Amino acid sequence: MLSQNELSDVGIFDWQTMKDSFEVSDILIGNGFSINLWPSLRYDSLCELFCSQSVAEIVDLFKNFNTTNFEVVLSGLNNAEIVNSVLGSVNSDIPKIKQRVKDGLIHTIQTTHPEAKDIRDVMLRSLAKELEPFSDVYTTNYDVYLYKIILANNTLVDLGLENFSQFGDGFYTELSKGKLSFDDFDYKPRNLIYLHGSLFMFNPSGSTYKIRKIDGNLEYIKLIKIELDNNNFPVYVAEGTAEEKYISINENYYLRSALNKLKSRKGNLVTFGFSFGKSDRHIVEAINSSKTDTIVASVWPNRSMKDLQRETSRVNNLFPNKSVQFFDSRTLFSFDTPKFFY
């Protein structure tokens, strides 16, 4: 591990020493954040994990549809059922296969995501405090951690323990018990914005809504399963190339609104746990087209100086018209030991 002086030599600084040198604005959070909280979230693709545990028949479905998108496969199976019904054909395998895909997806989510009992409330509240300097929080993650953190943030304010601004997420209109539809991001001064959607968002009739727990003891995974059993699929974009992701985003009003908000932002942008990989080129393009002044990107320092120089040069080259600075990713959030106790 390089020393702090060696990291400084390649332009990577301690967050605490550099944060006062620029005006903190918004933050973009990637998968590195969730991995620090729950290591099982270290996966490249739900589809890849799912297929590694599935029978060849179902794996072949994904291959023949040429997709990693569960919704495409389930939609194809639904259409096959309709065609069979119209033609008077009976194929009892289709409903069984469809159910196995749904059950497999739920199992995969369950395998990678924590249960409520595994999430420490003291950690959520401490991280909420550490998010205090930031305005909007953008994320490409689709798990529930950040949502729980902004709820913890709002609770601290409600209890009078903190006086920072509360977060919104754009979902305000009650459709039915436990379901809120998306309205707008501008109702609150701070927002959590899911650039790739989330596993608790659904869009069955063209209007995106989120599910929320009414019963505190009920796991999100059970609510998601209920939606899947009703042939409603989560609004999340985690699979495929940048082009495929961009197409999926443009097909959904919430996702378009989220990406447009990133495009229209201004000021500085801190990024944490975000790799700026090839499949996220649409995010890079959105930032480049925005009025973002400076990008302050986290870098995981546990590698050679040559690799660090290569990484900082790569990220710099992605933003030719922006100022780019770097900080040690270990120095922003306290994942192992909470800094703040309430």
Q: Could you report the per-residue pLDDT of 229-245, keeping only the tens digit for each? A: 888 888 888 666 778 78
**Whole-number Å distance between alpha carbons of 24 and 107:** 40
Q: Is the Cβ–Cβ distance between 292 and 22 less than 8 Å? A: no
**Whole-number Å distance between alpha carbons of 269 and 25:** 6
* Predicted confidence band of residue 51 (pLDDT cuts 50, 70, 90): confident
Work out the average pLDDT over 104-124: 81
From 310, 317, 308, 312, select the one nearest 288 (Cα to Cα). Answer: 317
Residue whose token pair is 């209920």? 226
From 139, 171, 168, select the one nearest 238 (Cα to Cα). Answer: 139
Which is higher by pLDDT, 296 or 231? 296
pLDDT at 217: 62
**Whole-number Å distance between alpha carbons of 74 and 90:** 18
- Would you call 57 exposed, middle or buried from its count of C-beta atoms within 10 A (0-12, 13-18, 19+)? exposed
Q: Is the pLDDT of residue 110 over 90?
A: no
Q: What is the 3-state secondary structure (H, E, C) of 166-177?
A: CEECCEEEEEEC
pLDDT at 258: 96
pLDDT at 19: 85
In this structure, of 23-32, 34-43, 291-300, 320-329, the range with the lowest mean pLDDT score is: 34-43
Global pTM? 0.87
Which is higher by pLDDT, 82 or 155? 155
